[in-house]
Structure 1
Amino acid sequence: MYKYFKKLRKNLEYKKIIKERLISWRKEPVIIRIEKPTKLDRAHSLGYKAKQGFVLARIRIGKGSSKREKPSGGRKPKHAGLTKMTPKMNLQHIAEIRVAKRFPNLEVLNSYYIAEDGKHKWFEVILIDPNHSCIKNDPKLNWICKPAHRKRVFRGLTSAGKKSRVKS
């Protein structure tokens, strides 16, 4: 069934629908809780289940390198170090961290890319409530309830976090 979803995304009509959605998503808040995943096949492959204790959030994140504050002392503009400062994390990992700060009682399971325009990228983040009874009683999911997995996104233990960690 999911292979048909992938074929559908290559369709021109689907691309028009995404363009319309982007227009409405730009007007929404940066982080918004959603009921159903936009890409159902991708969400299921990353561990999403349509049961209690699972929460989905869509986040909009700015593309491009960041710009630092201007230093107060005088110097050549070249040595001010204002532009071309890129973070050591990829945008998906930054998106997961921002969502985790917004929902402090939930743990980030995974995230995936949805769409982008000239200024922004949108990701959907799958969150789990480790205190929910449905999650605690599920033998495949109760690993996230252990103390070792608390605040895992801040330590780079998600898939996007592992990709952006420095390899030594």
Structure 2
Amino acid sequence: KYVSELWRKKQSDALRFLFRVRAWEYRQGNRIVRLNHPSRPDKARTLGYKAKEGYVVYRVAVRRGNRKRPVARGIVHGKPKGQGVNQLKFARNLRSVAEE
């Protein structure tokens, strides 16, 4: 109960410090990391997590923002409609990309 109260006030000094430290740690590590326990136990419990065998938790870093078309030096061919490189929206959501 106390932990969930903390998470409601995201601008508090404690959480801002926690976010800053965790963001730095996450940047130093690998993109896919298996965790021993969830970083938010209260939220994980509400989503159905139980602390017993058979439940695994991973943290996956996913590229933020739009999808970039993989073309060499930005050279595209075809009609003007298909000329876009940068502002393409990915069809799948970030969760499905992370689970891939």
Same fold (TM over 0.5): yes
Q: Aligned partners of 1:20, 1:62: CA distance in 2, in Å?
A: 20
Large movers: runs of 4+ above 6 Å: 75-78
How large is the RMSD of aligned CA atoms in angstroms?
Answer: 2.3
Q: Aligned partners of 2:50, 2:39: CA distance in 1, in Å?
A: 14
Task: Tell me how many residue pairs correspond in the alignment.
Answer: 95
**Within-5 A mapping of 1:47-62:** 47-62=48-63
Structure-2 residue corresponding to 1:20: 21
Shift of 1:81: 2.2
Structure-1 residue corresponding to 2:47: 46
Q: Aligned partners of 1:73, 1:46: CA distance in 2, in Å?
A: 44
Cα–Cα, structure 1 residues 70 and 21, in superposed 2: closer, same or farther, change >3 Å? Answer: same
Higher strand share: 1
**Within-5 A mapping of 1:94-133:** 94-95=97-98, 97-98=99-100
Kept after mapping to 2: 8 A contact 1:65/1:86: yes
Q: Deviations over 1:92-151 (max 9, x none)?
A: 2322x23xxxxxxxxxxxxxxxxxxxxxxxxxxxxxxxxxxxxxxxxxxxxxxxxxxxxx
Look up the equivalent residue of 1:8 and give its one-letter code.
L
Over the matched positions of the two proteins, sequence identity in percent amounts to 31
Shift of 1:20: 0.7
Question: TM-score, with normalisation over the residues of structure 1?
Answer: 0.50
Structure-2 residue corresponding to 1:83: 86
Question: TM-score, with normalisation over the residues of structure 2?
Answer: 0.80
Unaligned runs of 5+ in 1: 99-168
Unaligned runs of 5+ in 2: none
